[in-house]
Amino acid sequence: MQSYIGTREFSDILLKLEEKGGMALGPEKAYLLDEKLGKLVAEMPPHSFPELHGKICFGQDSALLDRLVESMTINETFWFRDKSPWTMLEEVLLPRWIEEMENGKRHRVRIWSAACSFGQEPYSIAMCVASHLKRSGADNRRNTFEIIATDISRPVIRMAEKGAYDGIAISRGLEDTYRDLYFEKAGNAWSLRDEIRQMVRFHPFNLIADPYGFEPFDVIFCRNVMIYFSDARKRQVCRSLAETLTDGGILFIGSAELMEDCENVFSRNLHKGGVFFRKQTVSW
Ligand SMILES: C[S@@+](CC[C@H](N)C(=O)[O-])C[C@H]1O[C@@H](n2cnc3c(N)ncnc32)[C@H](O)[C@@H]1O
C-alpha cells in the first residue's frame, strides 16, 4: 500500500480525483498517487503533505487539484490505433460524405477526438481525410472538414498543438508513406507539415463537464479513456456524447472497451468485424 499518505487521506483524494476527472482508481494505484503527490509537494508550495491534502480536499485550490489530475492521466497513444475506425472512415464514411456534398445535401463534416493525448489520433484523422480527398479528386473539400481535438490535460494539449514527435513516437503505427508525405525531419524531431497541423483545432476539455456545449459532431472518437471511469461516469459520459452527436452520428471507442452501460443510447454495429456505435434515433 502507499507509503506517503494514510488510508483516510487516500480516500479523500480519490474522491476529489473522481469528482474532477472521473478517474476511478483502485487500491492497486495507490503507489502511483503516492508518487505524484510526493512530486507535487516537492515542486509547489505549501511543501508539506498535510497542507497539500487540506488544500486539495477542503480548500478552494482548484489549480492544485488540476495539476494532480493532469499528472495522473495516462497518455499512451499511437498513430492509426486499431484498424477498424480507419477502415470505416475510408470505406464508408468519407465516400458517403463526399457524395452528399456533391449532391448538395451536406456542407460540412465535424469530427471530434475527445481524449486526444499528444495528437496522434486527431492528426491520423486529418491525414486520412486529406489523403482520401486527394485520391478522390475532392481536395477542394478539405475546408469543409472540422476536426476538433480535446483532452483534460493542458500540458498534453500544448504538446499536441506543436505537432512535433521524436523518433520513437513517430515510428509507432505510422506508415512510411504518410510520414514521408506529411512530416519534415529537423534534427531528431519529426514535424507535421502545416497543411495537416492546421486541419485540427485543439482545446482543453473535461469529459465530465455537463453540459458539453459543442455544436453536434458527425463522428466522435472517444477511445481508451472511459476505461478509467466508474460505471456511473461512463453512463453520464455516454449520454453526453450521444447528445453531442448528429442524428445517426457515430461513436468509436477503444477496441478493448465495453459499452454495456451505454447500449440504450447507442446501437452496436459492425463493419468488417470492427465495432462502432451509432446514436439511437435515426437509421440509415
Ligand atoms: C490513453 S489516452 C488515449 C488517447 C487516444 N484517444 C488513443 O486512443 O490513442 C487517454 C487520454 O484521456 C485523457 N483524459 C483522461 N481523463 C479525461 C477526462 N476526464 N476528460 C478528457 N480527457 C481525459 C488523458 O489525459 C489521456 O490523454
Ligand 1: distance of its center to the CA of 77 in Å? 9
pLDDT value of residue 6: 76
What backbone torsions phi and psi does residue 254 show, to the nearest 5 degrees?
Answer: -70, 155
Ligand 1 within 6 A of 153 CB? yes
Ligand 1: distance of its center to the CA of 204 in Å? 11
Tens of pLDDT along the chain (284 residues)? 445 567 788 889 999 999 999 999 888 888 888 899 888 888 877 678 888 888 889 877 788 899 999 999 999 999 999 999 999 999 999 999 999 999 999 999 999 999 999 999 999 999 999 999 999 999 999 999 999 999 999 999 999 999 999 999 999 999 999 999 999 998 989 999 999 999 999 999 999 999 999 999 999 999 999 999 999 999 999 999 999 999 999 999 998 888 776 777 899 999 998 999 999 864 43
Ligand 1 within 6 A of 131 CB? no
pLDDT value of residue 10: 84
- Probe residue for ligand 1, chosen from 111, 174, 225 as the CB with the greatest number of ligand atoms within 8 Å: 225
Q: Point out the ligand 1 atom lying closest to the alpha carbon of residue 151.
A: 22
Any idea which residue has 470505416 for its cell? 88
pLDDT value of residue 3: 56
**Which sign does the torsion angle of CA 162, 118, 78, 36 carry?**
positive
Ligand 1 within 6 A of 85 CB? no
Burial class (CB in 10 A: 0-12, 13-18, 19+), 49: middle
Ligand 1: distance of its center to the CA of 82 in Å? 16
Instruction: Name 261's Cβ contacts closer than 8 Å, sequence gap at least 6.
Output: 231, 234, 235, 238
Ligand 1 within 6 A of 224 CB? yes
d(CA 259, CA 206): 20
Ligand 1: distance of its center to the CA of 192 in Å? 21
d(CA 190, CA 28): 37
Ligand 1 within 6 A of 159 CB? no
pLDDT value of residue 28: 83
What backbone torsions phi and psi does residue 88 show, to the nearest 5 degrees?
Answer: -60, -45
| Cβ proximity of 181 and 135 under 8 Å | no
Q: What Å distances lie between residue 54 and 70, 98, 118, 143, 166, CA to CA?
A: 19, 55, 32, 49, 39
pLDDT value of residue 105: 96
pTM, to two decimals: 0.95
| Cβ proximity of 268 and 239 under 8 Å | no
- Probe residue for ligand 1, chosen from 17, 116, 148, 151 as the CB with the greatest number of ligand atoms within 8 Å: 151
Q: Where are the domains of the chain?
A: 7-72, 84-279
Cell of 32: 502511483
pLDDT value of residue 282: 42
Cell of 226: 472511459
Ligand 1 within 6 A of 222 CB? no
d(CA 104, CA 114): 29
**CATH superfamily label, 84-279:** Vaccinia Virus protein VP39 (3.40.50.150)
pLDDT value of residue 220: 98
